[in-house]
Amino acid sequence: MSTARTNIDFERSGRQLGFIDIAHSPHEDAWGATRIPIAVISNGKGPTAILQGGNHGDEYEGPITLGELIRELDPGLVSGRLIILPAINTPAVLAGRRTSPVDGLNLNRTFPGDPKGTITQQIAAYVTDVIFPLGDAYIDLHSGGSSLNILPSAIIEPAPDPLHHKRNMEAALAFDAPLTVVIDNLGEPRTSTAAAVRAGLTTLGTEMAGSGTVSIDALGICRRGVRNVLAHLGILAPTGKPPLAEARNLLRIPGRDGFVLATTDGVFEPFHALGAEVHAGDAAGRIHNLGDPSRGPEMLHYAADGIVYGRRQPGRVVAGNCCVTVAALYDETIQVATLAPTSLTRSLFSPSPACGRRWPKAG
Ligand code: CA
């Protein structure tokens, strides 16, 4: 049984802002708590959307967007309920780190969590056991973090059930990011989005730039995208703004072949900008050994066709670090099989450049 408690009444109308308190007893504070901010904005009948930021503490566009929503959204405009967790791994957010400074854990490799575990495991367990059962839809707002810069995109979490997968796809497309990418994290079951799919929720994520900074462009995309998804779910009125044409570029990370990993320690010199079209076998860059100029650099190569979707931010690498991520075109036959021709998705299957090679500019 969890010791976590909240002062929020999930059934009450209007705007509430409070905390989830998880009992924490470190050296400095015998009977205290880790306080995780939570807001509920509720009005009338309608679905419940769970909006989460700060899963990783060094990814800022999501928490900024959700903080604005908490302060500015008029509850009278809501049909249904928003449960907003803008800084879910609060210790990591306050430290500006991917992982928690309390227990060293990555929340997004901790689900479904453990109510008797460490603080990060208890956060995951609270989301799994208390928050997910209240929801119909779940948005987990990520960016690339300190180590990666990623093209701003909405992320489709694959679901084994075709109708559930279609719901996830349509919600991610409704976000209307410049790119929409299917990412299964190599089948990783411990992410929050994988857990949300197991809970039956309509689930989507984002990758909003990264590099440990706040991207002006990505923040704009994030603000607009969150409102677009809430309109798609019927919780907010439609914005009336036409979608971006580029949003019809549907991509996927092609498994392990999508990741170019460092083969030695040194400094990685990339050969291509974000958004560049690349091919399997092409040189991706090289790793220099700055301490021993007698040794030439070691070449790295792509293992998939696609575009440079994400790139490592720091120059220093050790063997095994992810230097580049490639996103490939999503298989159109899978799209046709799983998506009904709604107005939102019809353009995907038209003979237009929808699935052609109209890559976005590097950003
Ligand atoms: Ca992340």
DSSP secondary-structure letter at 241? P
98 CA → ligand 1 middle, Å: 8
DSSP letters, 103-135, are T---GGGSTT--TTS-HHHHHHHHIIIIIGGG-
> What is the average per-residue pLDDT within 220-237?
98
Note the pLDDT of residue 345: 37
DSSP 27-78: TT-TTEEEEEEEEEEEESSS-EEEEEE-SSTT--HHHHHHHHHHHH--GGG-
Q: How far is the CA of 140 from the centre of ligand 1 (A)?
A: 9
| CB 124, CB 140: distance < 8 Å | no
Nearest to 248 by CA among 355, 351, 169: 355
What is the 154 CA–ligand 1 centroid distance (Å)?
12
Asked whether the predicted pLDDT for residue 270 surpasses 60, the reply is: yes
Q: 260: CA distance to ligand 1 center in Å?
A: 18
pLDDT of 284: 98
Task: Give 277-298 pLDDT, tens digit per residue.
Answer: 999 999 999 999 999 999 999 9
Instruction: Report the Cα 320 to chain-centroid distance in Å.
Output: 22
> pTM, whole model, 2 decimals?
0.91
Nearest to 5 by CA among 35, 46, 44, 40: 35
What does the alpha-carbon distance between residue 14 and residue 42 come to, in Å, rounded to a whole number?
5
Place of tokens 């059934």: 11
| Positions of CATH 3.40.630.10 in the chain | 5-241
Give pLDDT tens digits for 26-73. 999 999 999 999 999 999 999 999 999 999 999 999 999 999 999 999
pLDDT band at residue 112 under the 50/70/90 scheme: very high
- List all residues 6 or more positions away from 320 whose beta carbon is below 8 Å from its beta carbon: 261, 262
- What's the rounded Cα separation, in Å, for the pair 271 and 258? 16
| pLDDT at site 243 | 82
Say yes or no to pLDDT of 359 above 50.
no
Q: Which residues surround ligand 1, an ion (CB under 5 A)?
A: 56, 142
Tell me what pLDDT residue 348 has.
Answer: 35
Tokens of 247: 């949003």
Distance CA 102, CA 120 (A): 8
Q: How many A from CA of 145 to the centre of ligand 1?
A: 6
Q: Per-residue pLDDT for 225 more than 60?
A: yes
Looking at domain 5-241, does it have CATH number 3.40.630.10?
yes
Contacts of 148 (CB under 8 A, 6+ apart): 210, 211, 310, 311, 312, 313, 322, 325
Asked if residue 334 has pLDDT above 90, the reply is no
Cα-to-centroid distance, 349 and ligand 1 (Å): 31
Evaluate whether 21 touches 58 at the Cβ level (below 8 Å): no
Task: Give the distance (Å) from ligand 1 centre to CA of residue 55.
Answer: 7
Residues 10 and 131: their CA atoms lie apart, in Å, by 10
Higher pLDDT, 243 or 90: 90
Section 337-360 average pLDDT: 37
The percent of residues in the chain predicted with pLDDT above 90, rounded, is 85
Over range 262-266, report the average pLDDT.
98
Which pLDDT belongs to residue 238?
93
Q: Which fold has domain 256-348?
A: OB fold (Dihydrolipoamide Acetyltransferase, E2P) (2.40.50)
φ, ψ dihedrals at 300, nearest 5°? -115, 150
CA–centroid distance, 346 to ligand 1, in Å, is 30
The helix or strand, by DSSP H or E, that contains position 336, with its residue range, turns out to be helix 332-338
Residue 109 tokens, joined:
């490799």
Cα of 183 from ligand 1 centre, angstroms: 12
| CA pair distance 325, 149, nearest whole angstrom | 10
- Res 239: pLDDT: 86
From ligand 1's centre to the CA of 275, what distance in Å?
19
Residue 334 Cα to ligand 1 midpoint, Å, equals 26
Does residue 96 register a pLDDT over 70? Answer: yes
**Has residue 337 got a pLDDT over 70?**
no
In angstroms, rounded to a whole number, what is the distance separating the alpha carbons of residues 302 and 64? 35
Burial call 114-135: b when 16+ CB within 10 Å, e when fewer: ebeebbbbbbbbbbbbebbeeb
- Provide the pLDDT for residue 347: 36
Give me ligand 1 centre to Cα 339, in Å: 27
The CA 100 to ligand 1 mean position distance, Å, reads: 13
CA of 295 to the centre of ligand 1 (A): 35
pLDDT of residue 332: 52
Query: What are the start and end residues of each CATH 2.40.50.100 domain in the chain?
Result: 256-348
Question: What is the model's pLDDT at position 247?
Answer: 52
Q: Kindly state the average pLDDT of the residues 73-78.
A: 98
* Rounded CA separation 237/235 (Å): 7
